Amino acid sequence: MRRLGRAFYARDTVVVAQGLLGTFLIHKQRGVERIGRIVEVEAYLGPHDLAAHSARGQTARTRVMFGPPGHAYVYLIYGMYCCMNVVTEPAGHASAVLLRALEPVQNVRGRTQGPGLLCNAMGIDLRLNAHDLTSDKLYIASQSSSEPFRIVKRPRIGVDYAGMWARRLLRFYIRGNPYISKT
């Protein structure tokens, strides 16, 4: 297992999104190490992407999206669930990758199919917003050797309001994986 560095996140958002599939999200919480394999993600390309939070300009909430890559953008949705994103591309680009589903690996509690459930199961909440993903506490790691897989491309979930952007194939998941959030 090798921790992903800043350079990994500083690239094109679609490349990063697809590159995150099959990697491992690791959260060390009060001595407990929780690990989940990332099997489903969505790319949010920047202010021009009408489905992205950054489309309405920089605000207190979306500030981290406009910052340097390799940080966690965690926000509260519907007053009850947290969603975790990974900030991509150089500072100022305001793009990110939403983590949508994990395959449980270690110390994961409950279901992990869906962005809200995923955060719950991994113990991720708003306190981790803006956290540096090259840190020891919360990071993503890749495995040198892993089983090959096919990547399925689909429209993103829950962004029908975004017009043409809702139709773009920016949701990616590992084909055949049983932990995908929806079909």
Partner DNA sequence: TGCACGATGAAC
Partner DNA sequence: TTCATCGTGCAC
Q: Which residues bind DNA (CB under 7 A)?
A: 42, 44, 51-54, 56-57, 59-62, 65, 73, 75-81, 83, 85, 96, 98, 111, 113-118, 156-159, 161, 181
Distance CA 14, CA 20 (A): 10
| Shortest separation between residue 145's beta carbon and DNA, angstroms | 30
| Shortest separation between residue 4's beta carbon and DNA, angstroms | 19
Long-range contacts of 150-157 (CB under 8 A, 24+ apart): 150/174, 150/175, 150/176, 151/18, 151/21, 151/175, 156/42, 156/51, 157/42, 157/100, 157/181, 157/182
Task: Report the residue number, 83 or 150, with the smaller CB distance to DNA.
Answer: 83
Distance CA 35, CA 102 (A): 9
Q: What angle do CA 178, 179, 182 make, to 5 degrees?
A: 100
Contact between 100 and 21 (Cβ < 8 Å): no
Task: Report the residue number, 23 or 95, with the smaller CB distance to DNA.
Answer: 95
| Shortest separation between residue 54's beta carbon and DNA, angstroms | 7
| Shortest separation between residue 89's beta carbon and DNA, angstroms | 13
Task: Report the residue number, 152 or 157, with the smaller CB distance to DNA.
Answer: 157
Task: Report the residue number, 1 or 158, with the smaller CB distance to DNA.
Answer: 158
